[in-house]
Amino acid sequence: MSLIENIIRSDVRAIAAYHVPDSDGFVKLDAMENPYTLPQELRSELGQRLADVAMNRYPVPSYTALKAKICSKLGVPAGFDIVLGNGSDELISMLSVACAQPGAKVLAPTPGFVMYAVSGRFAGMEFVGVPLKADFTLDKPAMLAAIAQHKPAITYLAYPNNPTGNLFDADDMVEIIRAVGDSGIVVVDEAYQPFAQHSFMPRLTEFDNLVVMRTVSKLGLAGIRLGYLSASTALLAEFDKVRPPYNINVLTQTAAEFVLDHVDVLDAQAASLRAERAKLAAALASMPGVNVFPSAANFLLLRVSGAAHDANRVFSALLEHKVLIKNVGKMHPLLENCLRVTVSTPEENAIFLDAFTASLAS
């Protein structure tokens, strides 16, 4: 056997690395990023703040000031604290590690965010996927049956869901939270909350097993990699034990604290993107053979159909027009012939629509 075969787990060897395509020179609409930057005066002030950071020192691992600012500015209920992560990805990994008792399972609707399954499996947990209905709503009876059978340690509910973009029915989610009970936690992933304007964060007081997870990435700070989650004091104490002691660097900390003092700027950007989402959805829906699914996120899922419409061909044609979106058709059978496009500025949306129209006709 080779060195790799001797030391690397077989399940790790069997999978491909997470691939991020090269976007240089493209109109980049594949990663649900906020296309807007901060106003110049704020960028200048932030630059001075960052220049004054003591990069020769480790961060203060309690992150007291940053956590207090997130709680006060982003709607964490009074009396609740948060745990910070290097983006949502690290938080998901931390949850997996904390809950990975022998035989423990992770459950989530599919299609959904791939890292729920990946992080769970890396921690030694079995992943149980429950397919959504054809219209991408929750199959509540199937979810409840799976919970009764598997007793998952972690159940994920993305609100709204990626890659479908829709909000699950809140009453169905509450029923699932209650069905899980004290046998596991239910993580409501609100990565796209600025565009949904619906949240389970205020309901943390109702459920001891509820965890609400968010990121500032979609709000306009993807580059600083900062996520946070809130739950009961008892749960947070256990999650914090598996958090690396200096997982948020001083530049991220300083940038986040500064921008949260100007969160109204980010809120205004989110409002603009919600308005653009409606315009883009209407334009796409008017095209023959294009079905646009309802979205509460900053992206749209669409399906192309008909003899001349094939998602793979349309995706390739868009690349020739230097427009990069996400071809999700192979992620799950329910997503056949589907594409996902990030909502962007009016200018970039117009470029996409022109290229998309040309791609359908080619």
Residue 349, φ and ψ in degrees, nearest 5: -65, -40
Burial class (CB in 10 A: 0-12, 13-18, 19+), 124: middle
Q: Is a pLDDT exceeding 70 seen at residue 308?
A: no
Percentage with pLDDT > 90 across the chain:
90
Report pLDDT digits (tens) over 71-93. Answer: 999 999 999 999 999 999 999 99
Q: Is a pLDDT exceeding 90 seen at residue 195?
A: yes
pLDDT at 15: 82
pLDDT at 16: 80
3-state secondary structure of 311: helix
- Among 219, 213, 224, which Cα is nearest to 194's? 219
pLDDT at 51: 97
Domain boundaries, the chain: 3-39+264-361, 54-261
Identify the bridge partners of residue 324 per DSSP, sorted by sequence position: 28
pLDDT interval class at 23 (50, 70, 90): confident
For domain 3-39+264-361, give the fold: Aspartate Aminotransferase, domain 1 (3.90.1150)
Report pLDDT digits (tens) over 92-118. Answer: 999 999 999 999 999 999 999 999 999
Report pLDDT digits (tens) over 150-161. Answer: 999 999 999 999
Q: How far is CA 252 from the centre of its chain?
A: 19
pLDDT at 1: 78
pLDDT at 307: 58
Interatomic CA distance for residues 339 and 311, integer angstroms: 7
pLDDT at 318: 97
- pTM of the predicted protein model: 0.95
For strand 154-158 and strand 126-131, is the pairing parallel, antiparallel, or unpaired? unpaired
Interatomic CA distance for residues 213 and 91, integer angstroms: 8
Question: What torsion, rounded to 10 degrees, do the Cα atoms 90, 91, 94, 100 define?
Answer: -120
Q: Is a pLDDT exceeding 70 seen at residue 324?
A: yes
pLDDT interval class at 362 (50, 70, 90): confident
Region 54-261: CATH code: 3.40.640.10
pLDDT at 251: 97
Interatomic CA distance for residues 232 and 211, integer angstroms: 8
Pick the more confident residue, 362 or 324.
324
Report pLDDT digits (tens) over 214-253. Answer: 999 988 999 999 999 999 999 999 999 999 999 999 999 9
3-class DSSP string for 272-298: HHHHHHHHHHHHHHCCCCEEECCCCCC
Report pLDDT digits (tens) over 27-54. Answer: 999 999 999 999 999 999 999 999 999 9
Burial class (CB in 10 A: 0-12, 13-18, 19+), 321: middle
